[in-house]
Amino acid sequence: GAVVSQHPSWVICKSGTSVKIECRSLDFQATTMFWYRQFPKQSLMLMATSNEGSKATYEQGVEKDKFLINHASLTLSTLTVTSAHPEDSSFYICSARDIDTEQYFGPGTRLTVT
Amino acid sequence: GQNIDQPTEMTATEGAIVQINCTYQTSGFNGLFWYQQHAGEAPTFLSYNVLDGLEEKGRFSSFLSRSKGYSYLLLKELQMKDSASYLCASEYSGAGSYQLTFGKGTKLSVIP
């Protein structure tokens, strides 16, 4: 089956620093990747959609200058949380799909900003 | 716009049957997913309905009525390990690809 990995699985950083999260599709080409955020006891909220080689499309209310997304290859997308603050602490989940496939989810990255 | 409603919590007994309902209003609707999510983990795929009707997969079945904007997930022979959140997600066309909008999830507690 299709596998999506995320790295790191958890990270603690200090307020004001930046954190990069990687999302990789291991055995298929991810023409589209998605980034979600999930706060405790809440559902997954789509942050942005990125097609390989194109700029990401951000959902309303998501600051594109704060959450930098790069999808430079068919197997890798990165999310960088810049100048992180405690309110950015959340569970970040990526998913990936090829043209005719469903979305396959990564295991998630738990970010804690102190 | 996209809107999905599902119950917040449900409790059922081990060995029983439980039905989790989901209603949606989705522009550009394509299909309906159900996912299972244990606390602190990513969602795992359970089912996908595009056409009206019932899809059966072992102990889990899912139903879709496109005209009513309604779906349900049916879990049979409940086991303790089925205690989890169940997410209903509608798939729609957007941003050059199919996207998902998730409901808030139904937390299912299976009791002995």
- Contact B110/B78 with Cβ under 8 angstroms? yes
Which of B4, B50, B102 to probe by mutation at the A interface, max A CB count within 10 Å? Answer: B102
- Contact A47/A109 with Cβ under 8 angstroms? no
Q: Would you state the structure tokens that stand for residue A41, as one six-digit string?
A: 């006891």
B9-65 pLDDT, tens per residue?
A: 999 999 999 999 999 998 889 999 999 999 888 899 999 999 999 999 899 999 999
> How does DSSP assign chain B, residue by residue?
-EEEE--SEEEEETT--EEEEEEEEETTEEEEEEEEE-TTS--EEEEEE-SSEEEEETTEEEEEETTTTEEEEEE-S--GGG-EEEEEEEEEEETTEEEEEE---EEEEEE-
Mean pLDDT of B78-104: 90
Q: Residue B85 and residue A45: Cα distance in Å, rounded? A: 15
Q: Residue B87 and residue B109: Cα distance in Å, rounded? A: 14
Cβ contact, residue pair B100, A34, below 8 Å: yes
Apex B63 CA angle, B60 and B68, nearest 5 = 155
- Contact B47/B35 with Cβ under 8 angstroms? no
* Other Cβ atoms closer than 10 A to A111: 21
- Residue B1 pLDDT level (bands cut at 50, 70, 90): low
A56-95 pLDDT, tens per residue?
A: 999 999 999 999 999 889 999 999 999 999 999 999 999 9
In Å, how far is A18's CA from the nearest CA of chain B? 23
pLDDT, chain A, mean = 93
Q: Residue A105 and residue A111: Cα distance in Å, rounded? A: 17
* Other Cβ atoms closer than 10 A to A42: 13
Q: Residue A50 and residue A32: Cα distance in Å, rounded? A: 6
Cβ contact, residue pair A93, B87, below 8 Å: no
B81-90 pLDDT, tens per residue?
A: 999 999 999 9
Strands A109-113 and B2-5: unpaired
B23 strand-pairing partners: B5, B70
Q: Does the pLDDT at position B5 exceed 70? A: yes
Reference B111, options B78, B88, B85, B86; nearest CA is B78
Chain A residues near residue B2 by CB distance under 8 angstroms: none
Cβ contact, residue pair B43, A44, below 8 Å: yes
Cα-to-chain-centroid distance, residue B76: 14
